[in-house]
Chains A and B, each alone.
Chain A
Amino acid sequence: ETGVTQTPRHLVMGMTNKKSLKCEQHLGHNAMYWYKQSAKKPLELMFVYSLEERVENNSVPSRFSPECPNSSHLFLHLHTLQPEDSALYLCASSLDRATDTQYFGPGTRLTVL
């Protein structure tokens, strides 16, 4: 148990659906992250939130929309996704900086049909 939870663990959606991924941490961390992990590629940073403010957006398509209502919760809203968006989406948190030890959630395995 790393202290970071993600729901759902698996998600299958059509290209016209709207869904949301949820991440929760109760480690007292100030920074939270969304990563995308595709087969045979390094982890790709998507979004960074520090003290509930977005500080990094790595040129992610607008069909991915993050939300951080408080320091313990992070959402990733999905709409009109493409099949190439199928991947493992990982949430992580760290005390303050990305270079601090990051604690990862178990991930959401997303399949877009």
Chain B
Amino acid sequence: KNEVEQSPQNLTAQEGEFITINCSYSVGISALHWLQQHPGGGIVSLFMLSSGKKKHGRLIATINIQEKHSSLHITASHPRDSAVYICAVGPYNTDKLIFGTGTRLQVFP
């Protein structure tokens, strides 16, 4: 079992819908990252957070350290949001990231 689990694995939505992607982890962490990977392969860092909530445009990331859970929300989804969203955690005792397998999101017009 991976130390970082994401759900759902695949998600389809109509343009304009509110999207939620979940990430659960089993280790103590210093920070959690949300990343976006477009079909071309390149990965972009969206958020790094260790508590509370962060917002950037239509994207919102929340984390509950006690419950070892984070969510990524996309408001008013758009076809250009179609990508794989990856959760990664930085455990306390190591200096490397542990990655989830990603959530593939497709938003249709």
Contacts and interface: CB of A to CB of B under 8 A. Distances in A.
Interface of A: 2, 40-43, 45, 48, 56, 88, 90, 92, 97-107, 109
Given A42-B2, A42-B102, A101-B33, 9 more contacts: A2-B42, A45-B97, A88-B41, A98-B96, A99-B30, A99-B31, A101-B48, A102-B45, A105-B42
Interface string B91-104: 00001111111100
B97 A98 contact: yes
A99 to B, nearest CB: 3
Interface of B: 2, 4, 30-31, 33, 35, 40-45, 48, 86, 88, 90, 95-102
B95 A97 contact: yes
Interface of A is mostly: loop
Given A88-B41, A103-B45, A104-B44, A45 B101 contact: no
B40 to A, nearest CB: 7
B54 to A, nearest CB: 12
5 contacts: A42-B98, A43-B88, A100-B48, A103-B45, A104-B42
B101 A41 contact: yes
Contact of A101 (B2, B45, B98, B101): B45
A42 B41 contact: no
Nearest to B3: A42
A78 B102 CA distance: 27
A99 B95 contact: yes
A20 B2 CA distance: 31
B96 A104 contact: no
Nearest to B48: A101
A103 B102 CA distance: 18
A103 B43 CA distance: 8
